[in-house]
Structure 1
Amino acid sequence: MAAPIFAVCAADPAVQALLGSSPTRLYPFGEAPEGVAKPYAVWQVIGGNPENYLSGRPTVDGYALQVDVYGDSGSSARAVTEAIRDAIELTAYITRWGAESRDPVTKSYRSSFDVDWMVHR
């Protein structure tokens, strides 16, 4: 099982309005198609662990995710960041707001944040 970030975000109307619905431009790290329309977001697992017990199997897996949002403007990247935040914050926890930057080569604006997600098995 993995963190259900795509399913939660793809079902959210505000995320759909910004990232589309067919396809939703939220991709696992490294899977965004070349030349994808902006804005879009990528996510990757950066850590995690099972909820271990002295007796019995773990019933929960914890995932730490990094989400990076790319846009043609700082405001578009921030709008997607806020929409994803609002979509997931009832089921996951934002643990870090990362730096905002602009890529010198692609000129894309980037917003980054980390999420902790507890997933019941």
Structure 2
Amino acid sequence: MFPPVYKTIRTPEVIAIVADRIGRHGEIGQDEQRPYITWSIVIGNPHDQISGAPCSDFTSVDINCWHPTDGGVEQLALEVRAALDAAGHHNRVRVNLRDPETRLYRVGIEADFITQR
């Protein structure tokens, strides 16, 4: 139910771009430097079974890469995707835009985690 998102995407390549600016619950401090990553759980489902409590969970997570430049957000998203791929997590891009309020570029990746209980 609580997948290891931070641990999975916190690779040397991602850290080189965002340091520790990775915010859970889709938030990061207003005064944080850019670029950064936010993430939140979209949906979590247990793998139910008749013989007892579920032994694992399937969780979809929304990971958003934020950067002041178009090229920068693309590079950050590629590094996050590489980290997810290396850990064996199915993922897909679900949004690619420029936020009208912050003027930051955003690439949103949805990733699926299966975690054992």
On whether the aligned pair clears a TM of 0.5, the verdict is: yes
Match of 1:2 in 2: 2
Match of 2:64 in 1: 68
Following TM superposition, the consecutive aligned residue runs of length 4 or more in structure 1 with deviations greater than 4 angstroms are: none
Match of 1:35 in 2: 31
Counterpart-to-counterpart distance in 1, 2:101 and 2:27:
20
Taking only the aligned residue pairs, the percentage that are identical comes to: 25
Question: Residue 46 of structure 2: which of 47, 50, 62 is its match?
Answer: 50
Match of 1:93 in 2: 90
Counterpart-to-counterpart distance in 2, 1:37 and 1:4:
24
Shift of 1:30: 4.3
Query: Could you tell me which amino acid in structure 2 is paired with residue 32 of structure 1?
Result: I
Counterpart-to-counterpart distance in 2, 1:48 and 1:105:
30
Counterpart-to-counterpart distance in 2, 1:4 and 1:100:
24
Verify: 1:78 aligned to 2:74, yes or no.
yes
Verify: 1:13 aligned to 2:12, yes or no.
yes
Counterpart-to-counterpart distance in 1, 2:84 and 2:67:
20
Count matched residues: 116
Shift of 1:91: 3.2
Shift of 1:29: 2.6
Query: Could you tell me which amino acid in structure 2 is paired with residue 9 of structure 1?
Result: I
Query: Could you tell me which amino acid in structure 2 is paired with residue 4 of structure 1?
Result: P
Match of 1:105 in 2: 101
Root-mean-square deviation over aligned CA pairs: 1.4
Question: Residue 26 of structure 1: which of 8, 22, 27 is its match?
Answer: 22
SS at 1:84 equivalent? helix
What TM-score does the superposition give when structure 1 sets the normalisation length?
0.88
Task: State the Cα deviation string for residues 38-76 of structure 1 (Å, max 9, x = none).
Answer: 111101111020111121221111111111111001111
